[in-house]
Amino acid sequence: MTAVRQSTDERAALPSLPSVYRSRATVELKEFFRQRESVVFTVMLPVLLLVVFGAVLDYDLGGGVTFTQYFLAGIVAAGILGASLQNMAISIATERSDGTLKGLVGTPMPRSAFFVGKVVQVLAVTVLIIGVLLLIGVVFYDVDLPSGSDWLTFAWVTVLGSAACTLLGISLSSLAKNGRSASATVTPVALVLQFISGVFFQFSQIPTWMQTVASLFPLKWMAQGLRSVFLPDALAADEPAGSWELGRVALVLGIWCVVGLVLCVRTFRWQDRGSR
């Protein structure tokens, strides 16, 4: 009877699931912002790119639209990609390699808390990046912010794109042999996608075959959806389909969310390959 009462008291003393999620999210945020390299690479790199490209390529695209106005949509999309796909792939591979994930599995913490913490970290960093980029765009480059219903479009493109890239980042973390090779595995892929998806150049100026390749991945659709809220409707004629195709943007990003989730379930590992 005493043993049963003791077991019941121990279960009652366990923290609730929401409190575990909050604790794990707090740990993830603290760990991220304590790593200066991660903060500089993930948060400051898009800011530096906006400052440099905005200063060097500040020309008119027609109709009073500057290249900076066009570029801001692309660099916000690239910032989302960095905060989600690159950040998740590299950090999780590193934690798997140094034994952090193996240690977490051996604790009473539910495994779902680990992923909740990562998602909260991605959302917080994404909001920070977007806020800083918009602030710099308005203050230094006189960029026009979205208005009215465009903010709703901005929100769902950001959420869907971030979700798709987060899930893909988690699954890509299993491709790296170890933590040291993660950055070399993921970063070149992200850079290539940025160059062919209309981040650094007008998408209409990219060769057709590159546009076709880019359309297979979520970054191109994120950038296109964000251009629809930063640019006048007249510039939609420069898109491959002659319109913003917001319905297709939502469809493709939604499909990538499903694909990313399936890949996560099938490929995620708590230990490096070959380890016991």
List, as one string, the DSSP characters of 236-263: GGGSTTSS--HHHHHHHHHHHHHHHHHH
What's the confidence (pLDDT) of residue 153?
97
3-state secondary structure of 87: helix
Give me the residue spans of the domains in the chain: 18-267
Res. 230 pLDDT band, cuts 50 70 90: very high
Q: How many Å apart are CA 125 and CA 259, to the nearest integer?
A: 23
Phi and psi for 227 in degrees, rounded to 5? -60, -30
Q: Is the pTM of this model over 0.85?
A: yes
Q: Is the pLDDT of residue 184 over 90?
A: no
The string of DSSP letters for 3-46 reads HHHHHHHHHHHSPPHHHHHHHHHHHHHHHHHH-HHHHIIIIIHH
What's the confidence (pLDDT) of residue 275?
56
What's the confidence (pLDDT) of residue 5?
52
Q: Tens digits of per-residue pLDDT, 36-51?
A: 888 888 989 999 999 9
